[in-house]
Amino acid sequence: MTETTIQEKARLVAGASTWKTVASGSDLPALLLADGPHGLRSQGAEGDSLGIGDSLPAVCFPPAVALGSTWNPELIERVGAALGDEAARLGVQVLLGPGMNIKRSPLGGRNFEYFSEDPRLTGELATALVRGIQSRGVAATPKHFAANNQETDRMRVDVTVSRRALREIYLSAFERVVREAKPWALMSAYNRVNGVFASENRWLLDEVLREQWGFDGLVMSDWGAVDDPAAAVAAGLDLEMPPSGRHDRIVSAVTGGRLDESALDTAIERLRVLAQRTAAPRPLGTVEDAEQVALEAAGEAITLLKNDGVLPLEDGSVRLLVVGEFARTPRFQGGGSSRVRPTAVTNVLDSLRRMSGGDVAFCPGFSLSGEVDEALADAAVEAARDADVVLAFLGLPDHAESEGFDRAGLTLPADQLALLRRLGESGARVVVVLSNGGVVDVASWRDDVDAIVEGWLLGQAGGTAMAEVLLGRVSPSGRLAESIPLRLEDTPSHLTFPGRDGQVLYGEDVYVGYRGYDTRAVEVAYPFGFGLSYTSFAYEGLEIEPMGPNSWSVSMRLRNAGVRAGGEVVQLYVAADSSAVDRPVHELRGFRKVFLEPGESRTVSWELEPRDFAFWNARFERWQVAPGEYRIEVGASSRDIRLVGTVHSAGDGVRDPLRLDSTLGEWSAHPVSAPLLAQMRAAMPAGAAEAAPELLEMVRSTPVIKLTTWGIGVTEETVRDVVARANADPEGDEPR
């Protein structure tokens, strides 16, 4: 192979420009890539080099924070299909989404782009979105792989995280999406993971992603994430985006024998496969269809947190006052690479006026510029004196949260809080409607208001969707995909978010979100999975049937016990009652969104698999089901469990192999080595074991290989022999 050819190959594994790959020959056309996860941000093939300028108009769906709150995979698959339609219409082959990192802290600046604090919910919803997108012949690109859970120092920070937390929390949603939706592409993260950049991390990109999970697509870098292009190719990164122009480094690595040329060939082959897979994107729905899906998704995301009966607003004689600039100037998406230029935006003020057919009074109350404007507040308070109900639209302005930086705190802007206090004193009933991408503090003011509606960022159709909920045409069915803490200090990652000096330690380990709050029994403002409805639901008749080893089918009946139609999210948690390993008190293992007419009921069922009971055994790098009792909890939130059953597991029967450094305790639990230990004990001077029982206890954690230095006749040869015999007998029933 001549150097020129290596040059050519090295050029192919980086883009041609910000949004395009390099074309080569007849079988490798240039591919057009575009953000983003909740709508197309495509500048077309001629986009500016930074991707900052205006993009083509596209439907702005609700961002992931809102999609997460729908808890509805079927709906999200339709959002995905509509996104695929939009991409196909714009000639885009590769869509850069979904974003699916776990919300480790409520302060994460990009939380609005992510679904949940829970990997199961994230994984199922991202799977649905990918399926939808790819059904149109457009590649989805789940991102950012992996452990990209903060914006602070995001391009350099080294995430120190245990292998167990990685597997159970941070990788598991990606694992699900890869295994079940088979995405054609994936984006590596900016950050380092345990010392190695994600984009150069062979363990992540090759061992885990490809060898263990069977990913057969292309891995591209996040924009500018590649530090050393040759190391990236060697680690399994196929495409550097955008091109950094450093292909010479790859060439010299190959010619210098530091990079195998076959790694380049493999990357190019993956590019070719991606081109084949996306050769014929086909839109099946119209723009109007997409706008309709955006409206439905927004409606299902709206989450009712508190309601003393003031909602829905059905009585036409009630004197309504709308306060808050957000009602007129909606905040419907977040800032950064995902920002979409919408085809049409509705605001809730117009929608309320149109739907209620009446004149709805409005006062902006505050300005979104960050400048405090007392005159605006005074006018709103004055107007509230003549109102029965004030709808106060509060939230985080654009400058308070965005890609690129984390938030400093949970509170709403001070001028909005001051206004709310004054509105509360006006005598009118107050309904707060929130617009925010990350959770905000509600605990400090919730007792002063009559209702709270969490409206997240709802995409371009959010105004109409919100009016429909407020006026009772749609019953709210959103549920919290992340806990709302009482105080920032209560959050499990509080002491170690966002780290310092280029390092962040995931000190809370697997206890992220409700896993942390519920295990430590810390009170929250509103728990994971929570959300009210205009109707109520009865949970009845839990049945659990064995299906196979560590597999059970679970079913129950859900009944709409109220007088209105509505949607409920039934949640299933598994709790390991007696585990030798520390585990979260319970973990979400299934959910179903169910819509019922008044009086209607439906059977809801799940099939639990061994993995639903497993934890990650970090010493032996495998999923493990420990024997014992497991509680099956079915409920309406992580703190509202309505039905409980118990199953008994005999464990998975897989015995940890013995190693030279296995401890005396581990030897004594193993059928092959235990007899040998008994012999050693018998060889001790008479009565020694009984005389000093603490001595025996003390040495239980000593690796057996250390005994070779104790002068008690244990040789390395003996230890090796026992280890070899034990491991040759994986069943371990009888010593041979």
Nearer of residues 223 and 528 to ligand BGC, judged by Cβ: 223
Nearer of residues 116 and 188 to ligand BGC, judged by Cβ: 188
Residue 268 Cβ vs ligand BGC, minimum distance, rounded to whole Å: 22
- Can you tell me the distance from the alpha carbon of 481 to that of 365, in angstroms, rounded to the nearest whole number? 30
Nearer of residues 96 and 377 to ligand BGC, judged by Cβ: 96
Residue 39 Cβ vs ligand BGC, minimum distance, rounded to whole Å: 13
Q: Catalytic site residue 509?
A: no
Bridge-partner residues for 604, per DSSP? 556
Nearer of residues 222 and 518 to ligand BGC, judged by Cβ: 222
Does position 109 bind ligand BGC by CB under 6 A? no
Residue 199 Cβ vs ligand BGC, minimum distance, rounded to whole Å: 12
- Can you tell me the distance from the alpha carbon of 211 to that of 722, in angstroms, rounded to the nearest whole number? 32
Task: Please enumerate in sequence order all residues whose Cβ is within 8 A of that of 424, keeping only pairs 6 or more positions apart, or say none.
Answer: 430, 448, 449
| Residue 37: how many other CB atoms lie within 10 Å | 29
Nearer of residues 52 and 712 to ligand BGC, judged by Cβ: 52
Nearer of residues 41 and 589 to ligand BGC, judged by Cβ: 41
Smallest Cα–Cα separation from 611: which of 628, 629, 626, 623?
623
Residue 96 Cβ vs ligand BGC, minimum distance, rounded to whole Å: 4
- Can you tell me the distance from the alpha carbon of 355 to that of 328, in angstroms, rounded to the nearest whole number? 15
- Count residues binding ligand BGC (CB under 6 A): 7
Residue 337 Cβ vs ligand BGC, minimum distance, rounded to whole Å: 3
Nearer of residues 187 and 368 to ligand BGC, judged by Cβ: 187
Nearer of residues 19 and 517 to ligand BGC, judged by Cβ: 19
Bridge-partner residues for 663, per DSSP? 703
Does position 567 bind ligand BGC by CB under 6 A? no
Does position 143 bind ligand BGC by CB under 6 A? yes
Helices assigned H by DSSP within 447-573: 462-470, 514-519
Query: Helix count (H) and strand count (E) of the chain?
Result: 21, 26
42: its two tokens:
């495509």
Residue 140 Cβ vs ligand BGC, minimum distance, rounded to whole Å: 12
Does position 337 bind ligand BGC by CB under 6 A? yes
Q: Which of 158, 222, 296, 406 is close enough to bind ligand BGC by CB under 6 A?
A: 222
Q: What Å distances lie between residue 329 and 110, 347, 596, CA to CA?
A: 21, 7, 34
Residue 48 Cβ vs ligand BGC, minimum distance, rounded to whole Å: 12
Q: What Å distances lie between residue 12 and 144, 254, 655, CA to CA?
A: 22, 15, 47
AA identity, residue 59 = V
AA identity, residue 616 = W
272: its two tokens:
């070719």
What character string, x for contact with ligand BGC (CB under 6 A) and - otherwise, covers 362-391? ------------------------------
Q: Which of 15, 20, 35, 397 is close enough to bind ligand BGC by CB under 6 A?
A: 35
Give the three-class secondary structure for 683: coil
| Residue 595: how many other CB atoms lie within 10 Å | 15
Distance of CA 646 to the CA centre of its chain: 28
Q: What Å distances lie between residue 474 and 141, 296, 302, 464, 563, CA to CA?
A: 33, 10, 10, 11, 13
Q: Which of 96, 205, 481, 504 is close enough to bind ligand BGC by CB under 6 A?
A: 96
What character string, x for contact with ligand BGC (CB under 6 A) and - otherwise, covers 44-83? -------x--------------------------------
Does position 223 bind ligand BGC by CB under 6 A? yes
Give the three-class secondary structure for 374: helix
Residue 62 Cβ vs ligand BGC, minimum distance, rounded to whole Å: 17
Nearer of residues 58 and 313 to ligand BGC, judged by Cβ: 58
What region, left, alpha or beta, does residue 681 occupy, with left being phi > 0 and alpha being psi -120 to 50 degrees? alpha
Q: What Å distances lie between residue 431 and 314, 320, 453, CA to CA?
A: 14, 11, 8
Residue 334 Cβ vs ligand BGC, minimum distance, rounded to whole Å: 12
Are 14 and 25 contacting, i.e. CB atoms less than 8 angstroms apart? no
Does position 240 bind ligand BGC by CB under 6 A? no
Catalytic residue among 35, 222, 415, 450: 222
Residue 335 Cβ vs ligand BGC, minimum distance, rounded to whole Å: 12
Point out the residue whose Cβ comes nearest to ligand BGC: 337
Where in 308-327 is the site for ligand BGC (CB under 6 A)? none
- Can you tell me the distance from the alpha carbon of 91 to that of 315, in angstroms, rounded to the nearest whole number? 49
Are 467 and 352 contacting, i.e. CB atoms less than 8 angstroms apart? yes
Residue 331 Cβ vs ligand BGC, minimum distance, rounded to whole Å: 20
Task: Please enumerate in sequence order all residues whose Cβ is within 8 A of that of 82, keeping only pairs 6 or more positions apart, or say none.
Answer: 59, 61, 132, 285, 289, 290, 293, 294
Nearer of residues 223 and 511 to ligand BGC, judged by Cβ: 223
**DSSP symbols for 608-661:** E-GGGG-EEETTTTEEE--SEEEEEEEEEETTEEEEEEEEEE----PPPPP-TT
- Can you tell me the distance from the alpha carbon of 162 to that of 138, in angstroms, rounded to the nearest whole number? 35
**DSSP symbols for 184-217:** SEEEE-SSEETTEEGGG-HIIIIIIIIIIT---S
Does position 330 bind ligand BGC by CB under 6 A? no
Nearer of residues 143 and 277 to ligand BGC, judged by Cβ: 143
Nearer of residues 51 and 217 to ligand BGC, judged by Cβ: 51
Task: Please enumerate in sequence order all residues whose Cβ is within 8 A of that of 503, keeping only pairs 6 or more positions apart, or say none.
Answer: 157, 158, 160
Residue 239 Cβ vs ligand BGC, minimum distance, rounded to whole Å: 13
The DSSP element (H or E) to which 691 belongs, if any, is helix 688-691
Residue 47 Cβ vs ligand BGC, minimum distance, rounded to whole Å: 10
Q: End-to-end alpha-carbon separation of the chain, Å?
A: 56
Please name the residue that has the structure tokens 């998406």. Answer: 333
What residues are annotated to the active site? 222
Contacting positions for ligand BGC (CB under 6 A): 35, 51, 96, 143, 222-223, 337
